[in-house]
Amino acid sequence: MDPHLVAVVVGILQGVFEWLPISSEGNVAITLTALGERPGVAVSYALFLHLGTAVSATVYYREEVHTALSSWSAVRPDSAFDGETATLSFVAVATAASAAVGVVALLALDAVVSELAGGTFVALIGVLLVATGLLQRVADASTLATRSTPDALDALLVGALQGLAILPGVSRSGTTTSALLLRGHEGTAAFRLSFLLSIPAALLGGGVGLVRTGGIGVSPTAGFVALVAAAIVGYATIDVLMRVVRRVAVWLLCVGLGGLAILGGLAV
């Protein structure tokens, strides 16, 4: 298939899947693998596309981003998670934890992926999708909702889980939102914190993908087309899809997609 057409297709998929807790990286990687890409190439390309939706999220959450950054001068070590500085501190600490865990997870992923055939790789993504869906099911049943401000433990836990989301099939939004719900945060607040956290995470992940795509034959033009498609579609769909996520049992979709990936991968 023409690489520019592939770029448009995967950019559109990234722009839609990023806002659904079904692992955009996993589903884009499955699509690329089905189109004939090697597993390692598929992962790098899928990570790279996060740069596009990072732009979408930054524009969509521009007021929240501005508010959080405005509190920077008020951050003090002894009161970092108090009042207006709590959100910025949460994002900063969680991002650091994500980077640390993500590096280890990526090295492990590279070691495993290099030994896998395409079908086995797709089946593995399916297993992680099913696990992500079941975690969301447990979190959906949570009735704690007693907290309004994140603390340092929230940041470390959520950040570590976000780092694991560099593994295709582990939904970043699904795992981080689930963790916040299980820690007692109300649904709307959990979504807000998760998606604010997605901005630096997507920039980091996309940066890793950008470095790695340099050696896999993605032309600058195709890469640009993919990023523009992801950014435009991402911004156009974020509001609608986030409303959908709040109203339907998306965990079933995650488990269903994972089951199909397992069956498809084993059948290859």
The residue ranges of every structural domain in the chain are 3-267
- Report, as an integer, the average pLDDT of 10-19: 94
Residue 4 pLDDT > 70: yes
Residue 266 pLDDT > 80: yes
Confirm if 94 and 87 have CB atoms less than 8 A apart: no
Q: What is the pLDDT of residues 26-76, one digit of tens each?
A: 999 999 989 988 888 888 899 999 999 999 999 999 998 888 778 776 666
Q: What is the pLDDT of residues 77-88, one digit of tens each?
A: 666 677 668 888
pTM: 0.86
Q: What is the pLDDT of residues 164-201, one digit of tens each?
A: 999 999 999 999 999 999 999 988 888 889 988 989 99
Residue 127 pLDDT > 90: yes
Can you tell me the distance from the alpha carbon of 224 to that of 115, in angstroms, rounded to the nearest whole number?
30
Taking residue 113's Cβ as centre, other Cβ atoms within 10 Å add up to 19
- Report, as an integer, the average pLDDT of 118-127: 89
**pLDDT computed for residue 186 by the predictor:** 87
**pLDDT computed for residue 119 by the predictor:** 85
The fraction of the chain above a pLDDT of 70, given in percent, is 93
**pLDDT computed for residue 73 by the predictor:** 64
The residue count for the chain: 268
Can you tell me the distance from the alpha carbon of 82 to that of 121, in angstroms, rounded to the nearest whole number?
44
Q: What is the pLDDT of residues 199-231, one digit of tens each?
A: 999 898 888 887 876 655 678 899 899 999 999
- Cβ neighbors of 206 (< 8 A, separation 6 or more) are 47, 48, 49, 50, 51, 52, 54
- Cβ neighbors of 203 (< 8 A, separation 6 or more) are 50, 51, 54
**pLDDT computed for residue 134 by the predictor:** 95
Residue 1 pLDDT > 80: no
**pLDDT computed for residue 96 by the predictor:** 96
Can you tell me the distance from the alpha carbon of 4 to that of 172, in angstroms, rounded to the nearest whole number?
27
**pLDDT computed for residue 263 by the predictor:** 94
